[in-house]
Amino acid sequence: MEGERETAGVEAHSGEVGCTGLDDSGERLRCVFSTVTKVKLGTGTTARVQENRVLWYVLQRNADAYGVRKINPQFVPTGDETLIDKETLLAEYTPEVEIHNLQVEPAVQALKKTVAKGDKHRERNEPLSAEMYYVEALDTEVTNVRAIFGLGLIYLQRGDCEKGKVLFEELVQIKAAFNVEHKHLFNEFGIALRKAGMFDEAVSYYGRAVELADPDENLYYNLARVFFEKDDWDQAILFAAKSLDLDPNHQHALELCRFARALAGSETLRGKYKKPPVPEDVARQAEALLGGGQDELDLPLEFGGGELDLTLPE
């Protein structure tokens, strides 16, 4: 099971209805299960044993790996999933088909509709209505990734950086936020953090993706872009180099190196663009990354590179 991606299984399989895989081994298992633990309460003659039942949403990932997520009091799976093997599933978990079909499935579908309404209002530039639906969704599932992304984007675009920061701190703790199905929201949120001047948060945000995702040239470039805004030439060119290691023709990373080289040789340009001096070793590294060529950016000089789409593995 090592190396399996953790993902919000319910969101990834919105088209499926009802339990699957219980009676047909050819189907991927997807159903609600329960576990029971016994707790001894009291002592002596007053001692008694209490059974605690926990509901889990189980989704089969491969032949011997099953992702499990807790089901909250609103009957919605919540939080990042944990992987268990088939032996553990058979020994410790009991299928709950009726609960799945009559309570969990309807609650999940209702939640998706609420988030979709929020997305629709946000796309229409109706932030107050969108916020209402996102908040409603988060009242049902506090870790709903799409709702957190959507609400965070509304706050950042509104200029409410304090609330945006709170949601950013929640996002970086949720592994599912960095899964492929949220790629476009991931990129949009990273751009919003940078445009709001929240550079440290943007660095942490992209850094978290570095921890969880496979090496990606666009992700490294996005980090370089934020460090460029922070006036940190060392880190900007370092991550431009990482991007170019994966894609030697990455045009935005090359453009950043050309910009660094041009400013290194011109105090006038540094003053014009309000950038600090480029350290000599960094200028040499940028020159090396460009292959020592003398191609120049057209004047008036402008570095216009923005965040690029992150290509996450399926």
Mean pLDDT in residue range 253-275: 91
Structural domain contains residue 42? yes
Q: Do residues 156 and 167 touch, judged by C-beta distance below 8 A?
A: no
CATH of the domain at 292: 1.25.40
What are the tokens at 131? 């916020």
Domain total of the chain: 2
Q: Does any domain span residue 18?
A: yes
Is 300 domain-assigned?
Answer: yes
In a domain, 187, yes or no: no
Residue 161 three-state SS: helix
Candidate ranges 22-26, 38-42, 127-131, 273-277; pick with highest mean pLDDT: 127-131
HSE (CB half, 13 Å, CA atoms) of 221?
27
Confidence band of 51 (pLDDT split at 50, 70, 90): confident
pLDDT in tens, 63-116: 899 999 999 999 999 988 999 999 999 999 999 999 999 999 999 999 999 999
State which of 98, 118, 134 marks the end of a domain: 98
Residue predicted with more confidence, 12 or 98: 98
Residues in Cβ contact with 75 at an 8 Å cutoff, skipping those fewer than 6 apart: 55, 99, 103, 104, 107
Q: What integer pLDDT is reported at residue 49 of this predicted model?
A: 73
**Would 246 be classed as within a structural domain?**
yes
Whose structure tokens read 């009559």? Answer: 102
Which spans in the chain are helix H? Answer: 9-12, 86-92, 97-99, 105-123, 127-140, 145-158, 161-171, 183-195, 199-212, 217-229, 233-246, 251-264, 267-272, 280-289
Global pTM exceeds 0.85: no
Nearest-CA neighbor of 190 among 147, 235, 158, 221? 221
- Please state the rounded mean pLDDT for residues 114-127: 96
Whether 272 is in a domain gets the answer yes
Report pLDDT for 66.
97
Mean pLDDT of the chain: 86
Is residue 231 situated within a structural domain?
yes
End position of a domain, from candidates 41, 72, 98: 98
In a domain, 288, yes or no: yes
Tell which of 98, 132, 159 closes a domain. 98
- Percent of the chain residues past pLDDT 70, beyond the cut: 87
pLDDT tens digits along 235-246: 999 999 999 999
**Mean pLDDT on 40-46:** 72
How many helices and strands in the chain, by DSSP H and E? Answer: 14, 5
Query: Given pLDDT bands bounded at 50, 70 and 90, which one contains residue 8?
Result: very low
Q: How confident is the model at residue 142 (pLDDT cuts 50, 70, 90)?
A: very high
- DSSP category for residue 44: G
**pLDDT value, residue 302:** 42
The domain in which residue 71 lies consists of: 9-98
